Structure 1
Amino acid sequence: MTAQAPLRTSAMIASFADPGQRTTSAPFGHALVAAARADERIVGLTADLGKYTDMHVFAQAMPDRYFQMGMAEQLLFGAAAGMAETGLIPFASTYSVFATRRAYDFICLDIAEPGLNVNIVGGLPGLTTGYGPSHQATEDMAIFRGIPGLTIVDPCDSVDIEQAVPQLAETPGPTYLRLLRGHVPTVLDEYDYTFELGKAKVVRPGTDVVFVSSGLMTMRALLAAEELAAHRVDAAVVHTPTIKPFDEETVLREIDTDRLAVTLENHTVVGGLFETVASAVVRRGLGKQVTPIALPDEFLAAGALPTLHDRYGLSTRRIVASVLDRL
């Protein structure tokens, strides 16, 4: 009998990785399988989007613990809540827009209010698809940040995802993971980094600029820091993968200096990382200006991801130009 090759991501999934960049295929799916082998309570659910949220890897490895709920997101999260009530640990995947816009009430009242261990896995967060406003979840963190007790994780790369999954499973209450799917860049292994839920990490020191970033924008911040070095600008990068609860101590310690402070996020400027940082700065009375690099408060265009990232200021080129303009 010929051994079957391991499942990889769907070829239909666009990648935001730069040409030649190291990537890992379907890190979430493989991490979920590993976590489920260690904990028999873990189950996987999806709403007709298995291969588009990398849940198909789990489905093949553990078909008896995989549940396909069809195109019914409210049912998906209602069922996940019921499973959690019985002691199971569900990971329920769909696109972020469908979780936040279609199923909010079910997530809020069936999952968050009773504090159930349901892990919401949202694909296509922010500007990771060119399909336009129907699929671009540019406001997902703004919607979910107001739910009491909901943990929000915005991973940078495959390293973050692989290390976050078991920690999310162990977290007693509900969690939301902004899923990077498909061929996901592998970046943070070069920076002596480990993911710790609720913690921000200084992954690169610098004396002139401090980037506070989350999600794929930490990758861009690191690339921008390398390019800024050619302009004799020394940039630090603080990665904040957990948006809620937020590690104010680490971030404010880095913000409260003479350096230019810039937040970078793959999310609208409303209600995400920038406003989380800015509110912490105001509460502490730091009197520090913070410059946001984020998506605009508008519905975005459809198109190719590299073009859109450059148009809306998320590309490395645009980040470097923005910093040089402010120095």
Structure 2
Amino acid sequence: MSGNTFGTLFTVTTFGESHGPAIGCIVDGCPPGMELSEADIQPDLDRRRPGTSRHVTQRQEPDQVEILSGVYQGKTTGTPIALLIRNTDQRSKDYGNIVESFRPGHADFTYWNKYGIRDPRGGGRSSARLTAPVVGAGAIAKKWMFEKFGTQFFAGLTQLGDIEIPFQAWRHTSENPFFAPSADQDLIARMEDFMDALRRDGDSIGAKIEVHATKVPVGLGEPIYDKLDAEIAFAMMGINAVKGVEIGAGFKSIRQRGSEHGDEITQQGFLGNNAGGVLGGISTGQDITVSMAIKPTSSIRVPRQSIDIHDNPVNVETFGRHDPCVGIRAAPIAEAMLALVLMDHALRHRAQCGDVPKQPIGI
């Protein structure tokens, strides 16, 4: 199966299945000499792991990461870094009724038709469980970007179904089970009631996630086909269940006039950030701002029409432990993917333009 490696100079190749013995990744291209241990990676995995509240899947996985290679005496060596996360709480019997049928909205149908075989246990390779090693790799990129440039990454849930979440501060994302950047307890209670009712109905819902990167260096990105915003969109669409990506003003740009959308520039900097930190495919030095639409989870208890592998009509009802909204745990995943893109482009920029003298601004 191709398509398992992300990046150009800083690459991540994931492996494993949802109900296999383990999942993990190989991170290649990390510069040598950076201090790195499991303690640098585990906090982000703890934010993503299942079973942290009643509003997410109750699969109990500790997601303890092991570094198998690429680190010696506490520092990266420049060789491939292997990360391993063991699966400990698989319940494959929950998927016995869908071995020969296809869940509506799921990758079951396309995997079967492409490969002629599929692993139905928890979705196999198509499971969102495979985002765990990506979060581990992203933690490495986040540390390198922070030490090199001071870059930081923040993400949160800004819409749950019809419930919009006004932004207050990123620090609030650690204070509630939704990763919502809000301290409005009435709003959090409303979301909890909504999710409780959704779980009782056996249904699911979509969400919107926003992710920002601050203190991004100027000049990251390649014209024309490797534009930074294009590669960010490509990365975000690689996250399970993402169906739409916006950079900066995104689709709001449709209603804006050029006099409003174009961010004016002064000697003190830009007066706005409708561009989302990217102009002409190259970073401006402003915050990178991205938002994503995440579809409702496909594995639901509500009976749905489908077919089986013999083309017979069936009704599909999915049992087992599933997220009624996969967007709730997507914030650390979005941060990780943005970090992977920025680190890859930082290394590419250093390789091509690292010794290019900066020209004075002016005519």
Structure with higher RCO (Cα < 8 A, 6+ apart): 2
> Which has the greater radius of gyration?
2
TM-score after normalising by structure 1: 0.27
TM-score after normalising by structure 2: 0.25
